[in-house]
Amino acid sequence: MPPRFSHSILATALVALVAAPTQAATLTAGVVFGADSTGNTYPGWTWNTLGQQDDPPVPASSPYDTRNVWNLYLSGTVAPAPPAFINGYNDARTNISVDLAPGTYTFGLYGDSTGADIHPAQHFGLSLYFGGDTTTPGISGLTGPSCALCPAGNANATNLFGDTGSQGANSLTWTDGLVRVTLTDFSWALSRQDTVWAHYHNTPQYPNGNGRLDFVGALTLNVEAIRDVPEPAALTLLGLALLPAVRRHTRR
């Protein structure tokens, strides 16, 4: 007896082929924070990819950076090349959503400087958030004089909103089951430039600029596919191969 096919099984197979997941992750938020050599928050500096509408309120009579929370801007190029900003301003446009297909990505980082000299023992942490999650970081790294780049897992790290007492991811790698994202390089505050002001000079809190140079840094991500996903052409061929079976079953 020839094999019998179920319409529902064949239809499900065709749908599954067409709806096969793509190999890409989405970087949806990031925060840089001051830390000590253990990843503990110190002295309370925060740079994030949230605009003013997402930051906790500050007194109207105080400068916006009273809480030591500043915007973090990403560029598709790194210094000394002119920046190609991915985000900007101080509103919803400060948010990021960067698709990461397999490959290597290097982003320039820019943010308002603290106005103070950096202590030689100062470290900085970086937490990255993926897939729309703004609560739990997927990657947390630490850089400083005692650690060029190491995982940051201190329970008193700084979260995306500038609050302390948050757990770092303690990993330089994040995966969604399809791709693996690895932080391979991170630097912050190694130099200062007057960069962001030239592009985003209409921030309401500083209509004439605040007179401070911007911290400059960079991060590099390596994205690897860890699960094979059929190419679109292969999906089409597989789907066409199933159609004769559907037709034969229909004619019986």
Confidence of residue 68 (pLDDT cuts 50, 70, 90): confident
| CA 189/CA 114 separation, integer angstroms | 10
DSSP per position, 25-90: EEEEEEEEEEE-TTS-EEEEEEEES--TTTSPP--TTS-GGGGSEEEEEEESS-TTSPP-BSS-TT
Instruction: Tell me the three state secondary structure of residue 235.
Output: helix
- Could you report the per-residue pLDDT of 126-185, keeping only the tens digit for each? 999 999 999 999 999 999 999 999 999 999 999 999 899 999 999 999 999 999 999 999
User: Could you say which DSSP state residue 157 is in?
Assistant: B
| pLDDT over 90 (residue 218) | yes
Confidence of residue 105 (pLDDT cuts 50, 70, 90): very high
* φ and ψ at residue 104, rounded to 5 degrees: -120, 135
Tokens 């949806």, located at residue: 28
User: Could you say which DSSP state residue 242 is in?
Assistant: H
- The residue extents of the domains of the chain are 7-19+230-251, 25-225
Residues 106, 184, 212, 161, CA torsion sign? positive
In the prediction, which pLDDT does 198 show? 66
Of these ranges, 1-15, 39-53, 171-185, the one predicted with the greatest mean pLDDT is 171-185
Mean pLDDT of 88-108: 94
Q: Taking all residues of the chain, what is their mean pLDDT, rounded to a whole number?
A: 81
**Lowest mean per-residue pLDDT among 2-11, 116-125, 152-161, 191-200:** 2-11
